[in-house]
Amino acid sequence: MKDWVHMYSDDLYTWAFYKTSHRETAEDLVQETFLAALQSLETFQNKSDPKTWLISILSNKIADHFRKSYRSILKSAPVDTFFDGNGTWTKEYRPQDWHVDDEQHLLDRPEFGQALAGCLDKLPESWRLSVVKKFLEQKSSQAICQELEITPTNYWQILHRAKMQLRKCLEVHWFRK
Amino acid sequence: MLSCKKASALTDKKTVIGLTWIESVQVRLHTSACAGCANYVKQTELIDNMLYNYFGELSKTNRVMLENSTLKERIISRL
């Protein structure tokens, strides 16, 4: 198993990091993969390629991780600071005019990329993952819902709440500066 | 008339699973009279573009193999 760690852990880590875009999460998932592999070593037949086998364990761990994080969002009670009792924007959260004249120019600016990354990191981990899942993999909503075992309504509501938080963060840290 | 809460939610529902005809009329009616929500409509689109752009770049750079020797040692110590 030690040899396998030397040979394959970078591959697995790269894969996990690509899927979650988060260092600690990727590291934990890779570690769990090797520990799980060690426990079920007898089910591994030398016929198959160890790397393929390890990747398949890791893929299951990643899928589980996403499913768990969505479930934890669904369990949490929505905190509604954005609107008053009538559903009107509160003064603090009412979207201001961002005065974006040249969108492409904005998207190309590295500092803006950093501001966006900073705001993504400020999201609670489960919310961040919901955004990563949609925009990194660019799968259809239907495919994502099936994979995560959630309803389309839950799915768009989660994305909506994540984007509300992102929007506010960008407004404060970039557009209002 | 929709509330801002509902109008902004439907705006995001639209890009994920689409709206019914009635819903899209309701959103248009609301945003034509509400500057905050009109800003929200523009901004949520912009945020989508930002995220596609950001993760698109990220997925290009991540194809590079990452090395993590600390992780290697950590795993070996726990086997």
User: Which residues of chain B have a Cβ shorter than 8 Å from any chain A Cβ?
Assistant: 3-6, 8-9, 12-13, 16-17, 35-37, 39-40, 42-44, 46-55, 57-59, 62-68, 71-72, 74-76, 78-79
Q: What is the pLDDT of residue B63?
A: 65
Give chain A's domains with CATH numbers: 2-75 (1.10.1740.10), 103-175 (1.10.10.10)
Q: What is the pLDDT of residue A44?
A: 83
Write down the domain spans for chain B.
4-78
Picking from B16, B64, B71, the nearest residue to A159 by CB comes out as B16
Which phi-psi region, left, alpha or beta, contains residue B54 (left: φ > 0; alpha: ψ -120 to 50)? alpha
Q: What is the pLDDT of residue B61?
A: 67
Chain B residue whose CA is closest to A27: B71
ipTM of this complex: 0.86
Q: Which residues contact A113 (CB under 8 A, 6 or more apart)?
A: B54, B57
Q: What string of DSSP letters covers A83-124?
A: B-TTSPBPTTTSPPP---S-HHHHHH-HHHHHHHHHHHHHS-
* Partners of residue B37 in chain A, C-beta under 8 Å: 89, 95
Q: Is A163 on the interface with B (CB under 8 A)?
A: yes
Cβ within 8 Å, pair A98-B46: yes
Q: Identify which has the larger pLDDT, B68 or B25.
A: B25
Ranges under pLDDT 50 in chain A? none
* Partners of residue A5 in chain B, C-beta under 8 Å: 72, 75-76, 79
- pTM, two decimal places: 0.84
Cβ within 8 Å, pair A113-B57: yes
Q: What is the pLDDT of residue A89?
A: 96
Q: What is the pLDDT of residue B62?
A: 55
Report whether pLDDT(B72) > 80. Answer: yes
Q: What is the pLDDT of residue A172?
A: 93
Q: What are the tens digits of pLDDT across the range B11-47?
A: 999 999 999 999 999 999 999 999 999 999 999 999 9
Q: Which residues contact A74 (CB under 8 A, 6 or more apart)?
A: A150, A154, A158
Q: Which of residues 41-70 of A touch B (CB under 8 A)?
A: none
